[in-house]
Structure 1
Amino acid sequence: MRTEKNRIITIANQKGGVGKTTTAINLATALAAIGEKVLIIDLDPQGNASTGLGIDRRNRVHSSYDVLIGASTVGETAVQTAVPNLFIIPSTMDLLGLEMEIASQPDRVFRLKRSLQGAEAQAFSYILVDCPPSFNLLTMNAMAAAHSVLVPLQCEFFALEGLSQLLETVDQVRRTVNPTLDIQGIVLTMFDSRNNLAQQVVSDVRTHLGDKVYHTLIPRNVRVSEAPSYGKPAILYDLKCAGSQAYLQLASEVIQRERQRKAA
């Protein structure tokens, strides 16, 4: 039986360049800013979430790879970021070889879930898992461990096609390894109000998925794009920019949905 002490949210989209890592970093920062204790688990071998939070590759003594192979615990691996209340389990390129290492193991899909069942993980209100832009064993581990999936969706022509593939993947995981997995919500990213196509994508996604789509639209924003090169979330880099304000609004929506879910 699942514990409700924390909420594990996997942030996933098999398509790259949709704002997945940016969403993970800034949503986590916004949640931490309002007093939640938050952990990001970087499961992408590229390690962009780790870099974007200022964790130098030379300082990643332990990583998500070590957690998945059982070499270190969540508490031993989690690193305090420059944001109060926000911790990260960083990624290293070692993750690239993980699938081959554990492919024959019967528990290969449940490595992350098992590591998050201890008291160290329960100390966090929210755990956000940043996945690679593909459906592989890392993403399967993330979905098997999660309560729900949050999907960043870029406002572009092929958005709905990619979304349908992802929803099928979630259904597959639900049928096979995690029957309680749910869609936390769809967040529309890189929105440009001057672009008629973007407006049409928003309309189409809302028509198809209704209240699963967050009200908040994450705009295209130069300051949000610049922030990772300084090793900072946009909310620290420029709190007043439109992108930062949008992620604060998204955090409010996420918390509101959690309150409604618990009250139901």
Structure 2
Amino acid sequence: MGKVISVANQKGGVGKTTTSVNLSASLVYYGKKVLLVDFDAQGSATTSLGINRSTLNGNLYDALMGEMDITDVILEVPIQGRKEVLHVIPATIDLAGIDYKLLEKENHEYVFDQLVKKVKDNYDYVIIDCAPALGLTTLNALYASDSVLIPIQCQFLAIDGLTQLLNTVRVVQKNLKVNKRELTIEGVLLTMLDKRTKAGWAIVNEIKEYFQEGVFKTFITSNVAAQVAPTYGIPILTYAPKSPAAVLYKSLAKELIDNNEKRQSIR
């Protein structure tokens, strides 16, 4: 059974989409079967992978509205040096008004959960790139997830505003227990670290003190290649496979895989 992981933070500009895209590609690099879901109306994950939104025959909105089967909106994206492909559910601007549409549906927090149940067994990991908000789309993602990965930028007031996200996660955790399900914190990922500044390292220490063992050992430094790769519509592993950013995202993927294998062995 595939593990569903939401990449979420209501604060924009924390490297959420960059993480979703490059973590997914790196998991494929390690031979994992991966589905990346773009759950953001901006469609940044979609365009970062070179998918032309204007020519799509179907997208996440169509699946959520019941107009298309979820299997019919999944696309394949090749990953450099791998025979395996990354599977992607793209997003378009149609998602901008999806919250109101979902409210009309029964059990509206679980609409996506019902969809992803149809396909998650085909994958090792399902990665959801959530919108930078705590609306009904993000709730749908969380209710469908087994865990949530929280990217936090290494900048002043990085932790500010996380209380609301953590409170939302606690509400989902409480409600899922009723259905004998669980939502855990996959980990906190430190992003955009400028290793040259004392301020950056001070924030690293602050976040580690706050989240303790919940922080990934891998942290993502500021890197030009990671910023440029989306303009070419390819992940960093394809654009600059030997760059520091590519090495770091592969390290993150390996850490995530190892953590999950360790948890499974303990059960």
Corresponding residue number in structure 1 for 2:135: 136
**Which residue is equivalent to 1:182?**
184
Aligned match of 1:244: 246
**How far apart, CA to CA, are the structure 2 residues paired with 1:235 and 1:62?**
27
Secondary structure of the corresponding residue to residue 185 of structure 1: strand
Partner residue of 2:61 out of 54, 61, 65: 65
Match of 1:12 in 2: 8
CA contact (8 A) 1:186 1:213 kept: yes
Task: Look up the match of 2:27.
Answer: 31
CA contact (8 A) 1:69 1:111 kept: no
Q: State the AA in 2 paired with 1:263.
A: S
Is structure 2 residue 77 aligned with structure 1 residue 81?
A: yes
Higher alpha-carbon deviation: 175-184 or 149-158? 175-184
**1:205-232: CA deviations, max 9, x gaps?**
1112111100111010001000000001
Deviation, structure 1 residue 175 = 2.0
Unmatched runs of 5 consecutive residues or more in structure 2: none
Aligned amino acid, residue 258 of structure 2: Q
Aligned partners of 1:36 and 1:85 also within 8 Å = no
Equivalent in 52, 55, 58 of residue 51 of structure 2: 55
- Partners of 1:96 and 1:125 lie apart in 2 by 29
**Aligned residue in 1 for 2:198:** 196
- What amino acid sits opposite 1:144 in the alignment? Y
How far, CA to CA, are the matches of 1:59 and 1:32 in structure 2?
A: 26
Deviation sequence 1:223-264 (CA, Å, 0-9, x none)? 100000000111110011111110000001000110111112
**Counterpart in the other structure of 1:115:** 115
Question: Shift in Å at residue 177 of structure 1?
Answer: 4.5
Aligned-residue RMSD, C-alpha: 1.2
CA pair 127-238 structure 1, distance change in 2 beyond 3 A: same
- Give the CA deviation at 1:176: 3.0
**CA offsets, 1:33-79, max 9 Å, x none?**
11101000101000000000110112321111112112222321110
1:161 aligns with 160
- For residues 141-197 of structure 1, the C-alpha deviation after alignment (integer angstroms, 9 at most, x for no partner) is 000000000011100111122333321221122123565111000000001111111
Where does structure 1 lack aligned partners over 5 or more consecutive residues?
A: none
CA distance in 2, matches of 1:99, 1:70: 15
Conservation of the 8 A alpha-carbon contact between 2:176 and 2:182: no
Separation in structure 2 between the aligned mates of residue 39 and residue 132 of structure 1, nearest angstrom: 17
1:61-110 per-residue CA deviation (whole Å, 9 max, x = no partner) reads 11111121122223211100122320100001111121112213222110
- Whether 1:225 aligns to 2:227 is yes
The aligned counterpart of 1:93 is 93
Q: Give the C-alpha shift of residue 121 in structure 1.
A: 3.0
Pick aligned residue for 1:209 from 204, 208, 211: 211
| Structure 1 letter corresponding to 2:139 | M
3-state SS, counterpart of residue 214 of structure 1: coil
SS in 1 for 2:192: strand
Kindly indicate whether the alpha-carbon contact (under 8 Å) linking 1:153 and 1:163 is maintained by their aligned counterparts in 2.
no
Q: Which moved more, 1:97-106 or 1:212-221?
A: 97-106
Residue aligning to 2:18:
22
The CA distance in 2 between the partners of 1:59 and 1:7, in whole Å, is: 30
Contact 2:220–2:249 (CA<8 Å) still a contact in 1? Answer: yes
- In 2, the alpha carbon distance for the partners of 1:161 and 1:148 equals 22
Please tell me whether the aligned partners of residues 116 and 122 of structure 1 are also in contact (alpha carbons under 8 angstroms): no
Q: Is the 8 A contact 2:176 2:183 kept in 1?
A: no
**Letter of the 1:228 counterpart:** P
Q: State the TM-score, normalizing by the size of structure 2.
A: 0.94
Query: Residue by residue, what CA displacement relative to the aligned partner does 1:106-139 show, whole Å, maximum 9, x if unpaired?
Result: 2211011000112x33111110000110000100
Aligned residues: 259
